């Protein structure tokens, strides 16, 4: 059933794209051929596609966990940006450490920054009743602006322009190991298939791996209803 839905979604997307392209007078077959060639037409193209798709896949898997708990977070993109900035900050702070400490330290900085942004949205919801959809969307824009400010200021690389700003490259010690020599394909592409993400993907909310999320959802609902009932009951 899931495979059929997936196939139907792809077919519908291609059909709509074909109609839009045809309405502009473009050669639909040529456009789709170029699209396929650019994505999987060569070993280099396949490697690039996998490298670019990996963070998107991991972000999608993280979204599933929040949605299972019925928390409608729209801040995943902002958390990815925050993680990138945290990793860059970690590379600056830990630059003098040996590689065996430097590499995991950069990862910890990145994860901590992404978690901190999600934690802020959770605090706004639990302490002040701010809807997580609103807060996470707004936090996205704050993170974008912070990233733009840092790249155009203290983290900016010399020679950048107003329209194109970037920070200097991280040292090679912060790179994930390549899988095949000089190929762009690195060990990160294996992460979506590692035990924790793949377990969430396969369990579909029916096994032990996702019962804690379900329990947390029930506890949150019960706590909310209990607080509402207490507020409505007459004081003694």
In sequence order, the 6+-apart residues with CB closer than 8 A to the CB of 184 are 44, 47, 48, 51, 178
Higher-pLDDT residue of 103 and 194 is 103
**pLDDT on residue 205:** 47
Structure confidence by residue, pLDDT tens digits, 88-104: 999 999 999 988 899 99
Select the more confidently predicted residue: 151 or 216.
Answer: 151
Query: Rounded distance, CA 205 to CA 68, Å?
Result: 8
Output the six-digit token pair for 140. 């996205």
**pLDDT reported for residue 214:** 54
Helices 99-128 and 132-151 cross at an angle (nearest 10°) of 140
**Residues 37, 39, 43, 48, CA torsion sign:** positive
Given a cut of 60, whether residue 230 has pLDDT beyond it is no
Q: What is the mean pLDDT of residues 52-78?
A: 85
| Confidence check: pLDDT of 180 > 60 | yes
Q: Is 169 a residue whose pLDDT tops 60?
A: yes
Q: Is 65 exposed, middle or buried (0-12, 13-18, 19+ CB in 10 A)?
A: middle
Per-residue pLDDT at 29: 92
- Calculate mean pLDDT across residues 26-53: 92
Q: Which residues contact 136 (CB under 8 A, 6 or more apart)?
A: 73, 74, 75, 78, 121
Chain segment 145-161, per-residue pLDDT in tens? 999 889 888 888 776 66
Out of 35-39, 111-115, 169-173, pick the least confident.
169-173
The pTM for the full model equals 0.74
State the burial class of residue 20 (Cβ atoms within 10 Å of its Cβ: 0-12, 13-18, 19+): exposed
User: What confidence tier does 165 reach under pLDDT thresholds 50, 70, 90?
Assistant: confident
Using an 8 Å Cβ cutoff, are 125 and 223 in contact?
no
178 beta partners: 186
Query: Would you state the pLDDT for residue 87?
Result: 94
- Residue 61's nearest CA partner among 179, 196, 221, 228 is 196
What's the rounded Cα separation, in Å, for the pair 53 and 191? 12
pLDDT-derived band of residue 64, with 50, 70 and 90 as boundaries? confident
The average pLDDT across 6-10 equals: 89
Q: Note the pLDDT of residue 27.
A: 93
> What tokens were used for 71?
């928390």
With 0-12 / 13-18 / 19 or more C-beta atoms within 10 angstroms meaning exposed / middle / buried, residue 113 is: buried
Q: What is the mean pLDDT of the chain?
A: 82
Q: Is the pLDDT of residue 70 over 70?
A: yes
pLDDT of residue 228: 46
């Amino acid at each position: 059933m899931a495979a059929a839905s997936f196939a139907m979604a792809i077919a519908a997307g291609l059909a709509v794209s074909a109609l839009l392209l045809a309405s502009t007078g473009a050669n639909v077959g040529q456009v789709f051929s170029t699209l396929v060639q650019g994505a999987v037409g060569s070993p280099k193209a396949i490697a690039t596609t996998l490298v670019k798709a990996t963070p998107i896949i991991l972000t999608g898997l993280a979204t599933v966990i929040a949605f299972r708990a019925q928390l409608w977070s729209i801040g995943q993109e902002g958390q990815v940006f925050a993680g990138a900035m945290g990793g860059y900050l970690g590379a600056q702070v830990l630059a003098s450490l040996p590689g065996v400490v430097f590499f995991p330290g950069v990862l910890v900085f990145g994860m901590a920054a992404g978690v901190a942004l999600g934690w802020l949205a959770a605090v706004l919801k639990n302490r002040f009743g701010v809807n997580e959809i609103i807060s996470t969307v707004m936090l996205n824009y704050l993170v974008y602006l912070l990233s733009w400010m840092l790249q155009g200021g203290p983290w900016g690389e010399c020679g950048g322009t107003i329209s194109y700003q970037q920070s200097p490259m991280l040292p090679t010690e912060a790179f994930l190991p390549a899988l095949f020599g000089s190929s762009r394909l690195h060990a990160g592409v294996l992460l979506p298939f590692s035990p924790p993400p793949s377990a969430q993907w396969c369990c579909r909310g029916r096994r032990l791996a996702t019962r804690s999320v379900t329990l947390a959802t029930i506890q949150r609902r019960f706590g909310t209803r209990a607080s509402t009932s207490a507020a409505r009951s007459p004081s003694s």
